[in-house]
Structure 1
Amino acid sequence: MEPKVTYSDLVIIGAGPAGLMAAAWASRMGLDARTLDDKLDRVQTGRADGLHVRTLEILDSFGMANAINEKAYQLREICSWNPDPEDDSKIQRTERVRVKEEELGRFCQLGIHQGFIEQNFIDFLQREGRLSVERNTKTKSLQLEEALMTDHTAYPICLRIERNNITTNGATADQGCKKIPNTKMRSPQEEIIKARYLVGADGGHSWTRDQIGLRLEGGKTKVHFGVVDIVPITDFPDIRVSCSIHSTKAGSTMTFPREDRLVRFYVQLAETGSEGDDLDTSKVTPEMITEKASTILSPYKLSYEHCDWWSIYTVGQQCAPSFSKGNRVFLVGDAVHTHSPTMGAGMNVSMQDSYNLVWKLGQVIKGIAKPDILDTYNAERQSVAQTLIKMDRDMCDFYEKGAGSDAHNYDEFYERFRTFLSGVGVEYGPNSLVVTAREDDGSRDSQSGTDLDGSSQTRRPSTRSLASKIPLGQRLPSFLVLNHAEANIVHVHSMLPADGRWRLLVLAGDISQVAQMARLRTLCARMDAPSSFLRTYTPDGDKVDSVIEVLTIHAASRRKVEVFSLPELLRPFDSKLGYDYWKCYANNYEGEEGDFDDAYAEWGVDKDEGCLVVLRPDQHVSLVCGLQDVEEVEQFFSTILVPHKRRKAVAVGCGK
């Protein structure tokens, strides 16, 4: 009997954090997508354990950060320990370093096990009700029809899968739960999935990567770290603080407290330098790892009764030469870059790969954007991976070389990594999605793009001076603002949920001034015109904000401006729901509603001038221009988006 053939716009292989992030985007954007995993259940213990600032911002855009924040350990301090100069068989604390992640974003670094993160994604998918993880499903073969690869309405991917159905007492078991003891396996069922796009999120031994002929470049070392999650019994005073610890003769260790009394130890194991004389990792036990950690901690004692998880990591840095195949098969996370666990960045960067990629796939699948935008994934995320690998080498050297100057000046050493590691320093472009910057010197140099019909288009560079502290290509820094109608204080990022829409942020300036209000009205009249970019890319009958949402933050006192004096475009009307009061906000620079940041000052925006800021669906800044420069916004979108009247031909395959 021939396997049944089904069609899908997007298939995701792997349901770890990277695959589940891809699934979350696919669900939010309403894609015809499937997520496959060969395991029976999610991770239960161990694996990755750290979440950084930008990752939490991303999770918050899906509404998942609060549940994680309530459960996780919050990192507030790092202590550096080094050999006691009077007795080098002992260690002493040499530095306390305050972790300043709150200066970079509204979250601090958290510690919690990978399975908890995965469960939050699974719960999110269940709430959304659009797709679920198909577990116990093996991928058997992958073929690409080369003749169809350039036709983005076609299904060039042929994926053969095998599903093992689990039954118990005649009923199918819930594959989202732990395996029930009395289960039976039915005969495997094969299926052929024809797909438009495929995302391989299947880890360091990626089957998908092998199928498309990519290989990781780089290598492994002879350096090994033992990792244990234990409930420690110890007199070490900083056991509930993350520590960098160097001893004179026993090596180094790093600690990271966790939820439920757990502490993770990364322990440098005995190394040898000669070929063929490697550490036999098969003989390592959690007791051995903990005993080595105890030796490093001398004169303090360490033991345990409960070990939650343990593993061995062999240090290596590897990266694939490309993250995609023909812009149809994409790889994310460990499938394309691997490194040591010492920076706690693996799960974060992996999820951020998917966050960067899948909104682009969604917009192309739905015909909203041109397929050319998919080129940016490889360039943007490969650059991040290469930077991470370089920093990982430096971090590994820090632990391998012992108590040198960096160990004794840990605050300075950590500062080199902090902005990048937090994720907020990641910068994309310039490329088709991020317009290059120029200072406002009166010049009008342009960069070119291509329209849907192949005609040449030009667009002007971003005017950097209008928002001097908003880095182009980085995610928009978030500050507190006031809802104009409600007076509620909210973070700007709370206005930017992950739903696949572009945003035009209108920083309208002080609109209590007559001239500035007139400029705002002129802007809105131009954007509301039948030929404007808002109307060009919004399908007939859809809400005006369905593709590009306009959000306003003005710099006037709320006491001087009535909400209904604002143009209706900024508070659109719905016949059933009334006016939308959640699109217009006020800056709090006069401190009328409390003591918090002046967002305009933090962004470097003149309150008399204002500006326009175009944000990608992933919150990164694409373009900055003047309030009067609507044509610059139009030119930008003309090189990326598909006019709704041409969209049907592009999206014909969607949901076949």
Structure 2
Amino acid sequence: MWDSVGMGEKLRQTGFHLHRMVTYEANDDRSGIKATKQGSDIPASSARYLYEIVLDPKDIERLMRESLSEQGIQVEQPVVPQQFRIINESGPNDEYVVEVTCVHLKAEHVRTSRLPLTSRNELADIPECLAKVESIRAKYVVGCDGARSWVRQQCGITMDDLGGTVVAENSKPAIGEVWGAMDLKPITDFPTPLAKNIIQSPLVGLVATVPRPGNRIRIYGQLQDDSLVNDGNVSAVQLADILMATFSRGFQPYSMAAEDITWCSHYRARQRIASTFSHAQRVFIAGDACHVHSPNAGQGLNFSMADAYNLAWKLAYSLRGRAGNALLDTYETERRPCSITLIELDMEIQRLIRSPSTSIPEQYMSLLERQNAFTSGIGVQYDSRLTVPDFQDLACGLVLGQRLPHAEILRYDSWSRCSLLDTISYQMAFKLLIFPGDITLPAVGASFREFIERCASSKEVGNGDVQLGAILSVSHGTVLAEAGVVSEPVLRASQNDGRTTGSLYRSLRISTESGAAALVRPDGHVALIIPVASRELARVWKYLSEL
């Protein structure tokens, strides 16, 4: 996902590469902890990068701003919304029917007030804090404004539990569900600070650490006495002292002190989901605005980005007149079930944490290993009208509804190695990936040539709605012209599958004698599969016309 929007390399260069996970449990005399198990943090062998990238949210935001700036887009802050209305719910797609009144605040007043983001609207009533007020007309509005979403509340969208019961915005969970978190530079003799550590301390309960860039770590821990922070009057300094006293005991017999604390907070573990992800087909919510869960599965920002990634191309298609509102309906159809799955996983982790088991860390590691395909995004499968359940048997390794898998291939033009994922950069176009098989076989070559010639003459390829790519099952030395393939520019980048001819085809379970073609959505998920036969292209053109 990040690679396809051009940010992957920047994130890899900036972030900490997390490879290792270690579990700790009570030592023999229960006076402290001991290491019990270790393993890979990313056990999914199908992942392109077998590690997590960890970096501060402010650095992610900075990189996103830089990326947007390169496209001539500036993010305006600090701005808070004040009023919202839909002028004409039944207006056509090209009308600006959503009006939002926004207040631009003076940056210096925001800095000196030290108010959190969720309270900045308080400054909008102070005249000296205002820079300007403006009303904005838009075709669509997307609320990515967090768990206390102003947009969600303006639309009257409720937050429910998984049973469908409406939960009040300010409801509190049961005692014992308050957690603390802290970013710090540790002074410690703890042996594995560069790993993700899951610690079950006999002295304070569950503690977890995640390394961060600059030899820093984030520590999470469950607060056994939540009355210490529940009165709402705890200062940042007091909270840091409370958390550090708890956390340091959790690492015994090792010492743990902080040289530099840059952030600390406490939160209540809860699971909620929005009753709907949209309003009047004009307003959408994404991220924490539509699903709330604890950070125990490490899915907050990751999952929120996947929401936006799913919605963005659908909004673009609607704005450009390539699709109607029915396409926008698939955002909720696809992402809400994923949100429920995530919340169920979070609840399973919560049940594990509350259990009397003496091996919670190892069970937690096993649970994440089982769910790795989902949490990494590799195994997320969309089930909507955009996934056509035909011809799966032609390419069982290209699972309909799932993201195109990583596999190493060689570019035909340069013999340089790349990933199959590199063929689907985020260009707001569908990609028709053709796996024709062994085109040196006369019948296979003839079918392939006819197929790409029919593609090349179509208006869908001509106007850029569909881009073509071919992954060939041939050896390095095969000369395409001798195989009768002379339309390389149409293919954009002819490719073969590496040093062992046919290995990719075997992994995707595609026959080298009959082949298959897959239509991949702009967000990288496989939409449909067809045989490599020119008559079957009508299925592709029909699919695109009905978006």
TM-score in terms of structure 2 length: 0.88
Q: What is aligned with 1:116?
A: 59
CA shift for structure 1 position 162: 2.4
Distance in 1, matches of 2:421 and 2:362, equals 38
The one of 22, 41, 64 equivalent to 1:99 is: 41
> Mapping of 1:162-177 within 5 angstroms?
162-164=103-105
Q: What is aligned with 1:313?
A: 267
1:142/1:306 CA distance change after superposition, 3 Å: same
CA shift for structure 1 position 265: 0.5
Q: What is aligned with 2:82?
A: 140
Distance in 2, matches of 1:346 and 1:187, equals 32
Distance in 2, matches of 1:286 and 1:164, equals 30
Q: What is aligned with 2:442?
A: 514
Aligned length: 515
Please say if residues 32 and 203 of structure 2, whose CA atoms lie closer than 8 Å, have aligned partners that are also in contact. Answer: no
- The share of aligned pairs that are identical, in percent, is 27
1:399/1:480 CA distance change after superposition, 3 Å: same
1:186/1:339 CA distance change after superposition, 3 Å: closer
Please say if residues 246 and 403 of structure 1, whose CA atoms lie closer than 8 Å, have aligned partners that are also in contact. Answer: no
- 3-state secondary structure, aligned to 1:148: coil
Q: Structure 1 unaligned segments of length 5 or more: list them.
A: 1-57, 169-183, 437-461, 539-543, 573-579, 592-596, 644-656
- Provide, for residues 167-225 of structure 1, a one-character-per-residue CA deviation record: whole Å limited to 9, x for no partner: 99xxxxxxxxxxxxxxx968543322221111111111111111111121135423111
1:304/1:566 CA distance change after superposition, 3 Å: farther
- Provide, for residues 436-492 of structure 1, a one-character-per-residue CA deviation record: whole Å limited to 9, x for no partner: 2xxxxxxxxxxxxxxxxxxxxxxxxx2111111111101000211111122111111
- Provide, for residues 74-110 of structure 1, a one-character-per-residue CA deviation record: whole Å limited to 9, x for no partner: 12111111112x3012211111122234613212212
The one of 489, 493, 497 equivalent to 1:583 is: 493
Distance in 2, matches of 1:82 and 1:587, equals 46
Please say if residues 103 and 130 of structure 2, whose CA atoms lie closer than 8 Å, have aligned partners that are also in contact. Answer: no
1:68/1:413 CA distance change after superposition, 3 Å: same
The one of 69, 83, 100 equivalent to 1:159 is: 100
Q: What is aligned with 1:202?
A: 145
Please say if residues 413 and 493 of structure 2, whose CA atoms lie closer than 8 Å, have aligned partners that are also in contact. Answer: no
Q: What is aligned with 1:71?
A: 14
Please say if residues 44 and 373 of structure 2, whose CA atoms lie closer than 8 Å, have aligned partners that are also in contact. Answer: no
Larger helix proportion of the pair: 2
Please say if residues 252 and 402 of structure 1, whose CA atoms lie closer than 8 Å, have aligned partners that are also in contact. Answer: no
> Mapping of 1:298-447 within 5 angstroms?
298-401=252-355, 403-429=357-383, 431-436=384-389
1:471/1:134 CA distance change after superposition, 3 Å: same
- Provide, for residues 104-132 of structure 1, a one-character-per-residue CA deviation record: whole Å limited to 9, x for no partner: 32122121111111111111111111x21
Q: What is aligned with 2:519?
A: 614
Distance in 1, matches of 2:278 and 2:377, equals 23
Please say if residues 182 and 261 of structure 2, whose CA atoms lie closer than 8 Å, have aligned partners that are also in contact. Answer: yes
> Mapping of 1:169-188 within 5 angstroms?
188=131
Distance in 2, matches of 1:210 and 1:412, equals 38
Distance in 2, matches of 1:165 and 1:501, equals 40
Distance in 1, matches of 2:130 and 2:288, equals 32
Distance in 2, matches of 1:331 and 1:627, equals 40
> Mapping of 1:168-247 within 5 angstroms?
188-218=131-161, 220-221=172-173, 222=175, 223-247=177-201
Distance in 2, matches of 1:484 and 1:435, equals 31
Q: What is aligned with 1:558?
A: 476
Partner AA of 1:562 in structure 2: L
Distance in 2, matches of 1:406 and 1:566, equals 61
- 3-state secondary structure, aligned to 2:270: strand
Distance in 1, matches of 2:89 and 2:242, equals 56
Distance in 2, matches of 1:277 and 1:583, equals 62
Q: What is aligned with 1:547?
A: 465
- 3-state secondary structure, aligned to 2:208: strand
Distance in 2, matches of 1:128 and 1:194, equals 22
The one of 437, 451, 456 equivalent to 1:528 is: 456
CA shift for structure 1 position 294: 1.4
Q: What is aligned with 2:420?
A: 492
- 3-state secondary structure, aligned to 1:194: strand
1:156/1:603 CA distance change after superposition, 3 Å: same
Distance in 2, matches of 1:277 and 1:262, equals 26
Are residue 87 (structure 1) and residue 5 (structure 2) matched? no
Please say if residues 167 and 185 of structure 1, whose CA atoms lie closer than 8 Å, have aligned partners that are also in contact. Answer: no
The one of 513, 526, 539 equivalent to 1:635 is: 539
Distance in 1, matches of 2:330 and 2:136, equals 27
- Provide, for residues 489-529 of structure 1, a one-character-per-residue CA deviation record: whole Å limited to 9, x for no partner: 11111121111010000101100111111011121232234
Distance in 1, matches of 2:145 and 2:139, equals 19
Partner AA of 1:105 in structure 2: A
Distance in 1, matches of 2:215 and 2:363, equals 29
1:568/1:201 CA distance change after superposition, 3 Å: farther
Please say if residues 373 and 432 of structure 1, whose CA atoms lie closer than 8 Å, have aligned partners that are also in contact. Answer: no
CA shift for structure 1 position 363: 0.8
Q: What is aligned with 2:508?
A: 603
CA shift for structure 1 position 157: 0.9
Runs of 4+ that moved beyond 6 A:
none
CA shift for structure 1 position 639: 4.3
> Mapping of 1:265-280 within 5 angstroms?
265-271=219-225, 279-280=230-231
CA shift for structure 1 position 636: 4.4
Partner AA of 1:91 in structure 2: I
Distance in 1, matches of 2:147 and 2:129, equals 30
Distance in 2, matches of 1:394 and 1:258, equals 27
Q: Structure 2 unaligned segments of length 5 or more: list them.
A: 110-126, 162-166
Distance in 2, matches of 1:213 and 1:583, equals 49
Q: What is aligned with 2:121?
A: none
TM-score in terms of structure 1 length: 0.74
What is the RMSD computed on CA atoms of the aligned residues? Answer: 2.5
- 3-state secondary structure, aligned to 1:306: strand
Distance in 2, matches of 1:626 and 1:564, equals 24
Distance in 2, matches of 1:402 and 1:310, equals 28
Please say if residues 550 and 570 of structure 1, whose CA atoms lie closer than 8 Å, have aligned partners that are also in contact. Answer: no
Distance in 1, matches of 2:244 and 2:456, equals 66
Partner AA of 2:386 in structure 1: L
1:410/1:371 CA distance change after superposition, 3 Å: closer
Distance in 2, matches of 1:383 and 1:564, equals 50
- 3-state secondary structure, aligned to 1:559: coil
1:383/1:258 CA distance change after superposition, 3 Å: same
CA shift for structure 1 position 605: 0.9
The one of 470, 484, 496 equivalent to 2:398 is: 470
Partner AA of 2:444 in structure 1: Q
- 3-state secondary structure, aligned to 2:183: strand
Distance in 1, matches of 2:350 and 2:231, equals 20
Please say if residues 404 and 524 of structure 2, whose CA atoms lie closer than 8 Å, have aligned partners that are also in contact. Answer: yes
CA shift for structure 1 position 323: 0.3
Distance in 2, matches of 1:211 and 1:145, equals 14
Distance in 1, matches of 2:434 and 2:103, equals 51
> Of the two structures, which has the highest relative contact order with CA contacts closer than 8 Å and spacing of 6 or more?
1
1:234/1:72 CA distance change after superposition, 3 Å: same
Please say if residues 281 and 312 of structure 1, whose CA atoms lie closer than 8 Å, have aligned partners that are also in contact. Answer: no
